[in-house]
Amino acid sequence: MEQRIQLQQDYIRDIEKNYQELREFKHDYQNLLFSMNSYISEGDLEGLKNYYDQNILPTREIMNLSPANLSLLDKINVPEIRSVLSLKLMMAIEKGISLQITIPEEVKIDSKHTVNLVRILGIVLDNATEGAAVTKKKKIELLILKKKNSLVIRVVNTTINTLPLNQLKQKGFSTKSNPKNEGLGLHILDELAKTNPYLLIETSIENQRFSQTIYIQTH
């Protein structure tokens, strides 16, 4: 029960963090639009065009991309899972990362998996975003597929990481220059999976693609 409460608190903290980031993004976007007023009032059409191309157009493209990609998440019947996926993926889009989402059919997830799965997906997508953001292709792929007795959730991101998986999974290890408990991500994933006998996580690195696959036993 204590573990469930802690995981729920972690989930709420993640949601609040991402909601605040979305509010900041909206605020920045409104400021960009307001800044156009000076160019308009001065009749500086050339300056306005340059400002639009450099500052407004990129954010407009981000906002247009979000609904088209994330609408597929409506196929997931669990609000907690759907919300953590949408928030994390929107953060990835804001960082200039392209998404490929594949969900062929409706997805049902038993409530007994929800708490651990929310935390796991949060860590996996944070890792994917951080990994993809520093690559040239900047891409994340999300696949949710039903099999005979299981549900498969796979997140693949472009990566520059070539370190062995056993090193990445060491408690406290981080590839970041200024870590602060940030190396716990993959270690925590393993620990979370161990607490639920219905969950299995596989991790692989191949051809500059970092892949994490979650198998959920449904029967």
| Domains by residue range for the chain, with CATH | 2-217 (3.30.565.10)
Residue 184 carries which DSSP code? G
* β partners of residue 201: 214
Cβ–Cβ contacts within 10 Å for residue 157, how many?
A: 28
Digits of tens for pLDDT over the chain (219 positions)? 676 666 666 666 666 666 666 667 666 667 766 777 778 888 888 888 887 777 766 655 555 544 446 788 889 888 888 888 988 888 888 888 999 999 999 988 887 777 788 888 988 999 899 999 999 999 999 999 998 888 999 999 999 876 555 545 444 444 444 333 333 467 778 777 777 788 889 988 888 899 999 999 877
What residues contact residue 103 under an 8 Å CB cut-off, 6+ apart? 72, 73, 75, 76, 142, 143, 144, 145
Task: Write phi, then psi, for 196 (nearest 5 degrees).
Answer: -130, 110
Model pTM score: 0.65
